[in-house]
Amino acid sequence: MRRLTLRQFRVFEAVARNLSFSRAAEELHLSQPAVSMQIKGIETILGQPLTEQIGKKIFLTDAGREVLHASQAITARLDDLQHNLAQLKSVDRGSLRLAVTSTVNAVATNILVHFRGRYPGVAVHLGVSNRAEVLEQLANNRIDLAIMGQVPADLGLEAVRIMDNPLVVIAPPDHPLVGKRKIPVEQVAAEPFLVREAGSGTRSAMERFFAERGLEIRSSMEMSSNEAIRQAVQAGLGLAVLALQTLEMELAFNRLVVLNVEGFPIVRHWNLAHRADKRLSPAAQAFKQFVIAEAASGKRGRPRATRPR
């Protein structure tokens, strides 16, 4: 059985894109008869017409649309292969697909600034999502690496701990608990809390902390971003538990205050994760090694110590 060739696919895509044999010939720098011959060759192999002419216009048949879909998939895979092979020659020609949870976005941005300083040629694609979406992207191999909190053990992921992630209780500066020492957890649990959406790592850690002490927090409002929670706490709508790294500006300008609550901070960790079965590109491997080295040295990305008031 004769097989279709890559050249035939390329010619057919040009015809389908232009819906014109003459314009396809101009695009490919071929004669129109040569283009027509390539299309007829495909039709002979498949036993079906791929185009039909109605009046002066050319349209794809159902078979033509099927062939176009398959052709685009094949040529895209070959383009990816060429791109990946080019990456093997130099890290600076590669690309990095990175996803981070919204809580770690500021930390990740700081890391990327220094990474790009060392590898300016790497094209970085950064996505910021919630934990569930980041895990879904990892599971479907849509990203190379992710920076996130707790990494599930049952998804076939490989992870390395890169940084502490202390969670603290925050309040507006005029809250009655500000300035008190060793505030009992029971007293804090009686306050209204602003929380992230279900599935958030921060929310899960907070709920687990109180549940282990036989307490249930009083949630007054659920929000989908840390920025919204910070603003709501400033407005006096309740307390919240957030990562210390996300509060630098608000603490510096005294817009928010970290409460001195017994048992806090809850020390979690940031992890760099990827599929265990994934062969990392040179750019992704360079980023992984860079982050691990920076975490070991503690030079960059480490949260600045802030004492609870």
pLDDT at 160 over 90: yes
User: Look-up: residue for tokens 């971003």?
Assistant: 225
107-111, 165-169, 254-258: range with lowest mean pLDDT: 107-111
Model confidence, pTM: 0.58
**Whether the predicted pLDDT of 306 surpasses 50:** no
pLDDT of residue 308 exceeding 70, the answer is: no
H-type helices in 152-281, by residue range?
A: 185-189, 201-211, 226-234, 248-252
Dihedral sign, Cα of residue 292, residue 227, residue 243, residue 209: negative
Contact 162, 292 (CB under 8 A): yes
Give CA 10 to chain center in angstroms.
Answer: 33
* Best CA proximity match to 142, nearest among 155, 127, 131: 127
Q: Walk me through the domains of the chain, giving residue ranges and CATH numbers.
A: 6-87 (1.10.10.10), 91-163+269-297 (3.40.190.10), 165-268 (3.40.190.10)
pLDDT class of 302 with cuts at 50, 70, 90: very low
Confidence of residue 298 (pLDDT cuts 50, 70, 90): low
Cα(155)–Cα(275) distance, integer angstroms: 8
Q: What is the overall mean pLDDT for the chain?
A: 87
- Going by pLDDT thresholds of 50, 70 and 90, the confidence category of residue 95 is confident
Task: State the pLDDT at residue 304.
Answer: 37
- For 191-247, the pLDDT digits (tens) are 999 998 887 888 888 999 999 999 988 877 888 888 899 999 999 999 999 989 888
Task: Taking each helix axis as running N to C, give the angle between helix 21-28 and helix 32-46, from 0 to 180 degrees, rounded to the nearest 10.
Answer: 110
Angstrom distances, CA of residue 95 to CA of 127, 137, 160, 250? 14, 17, 21, 34
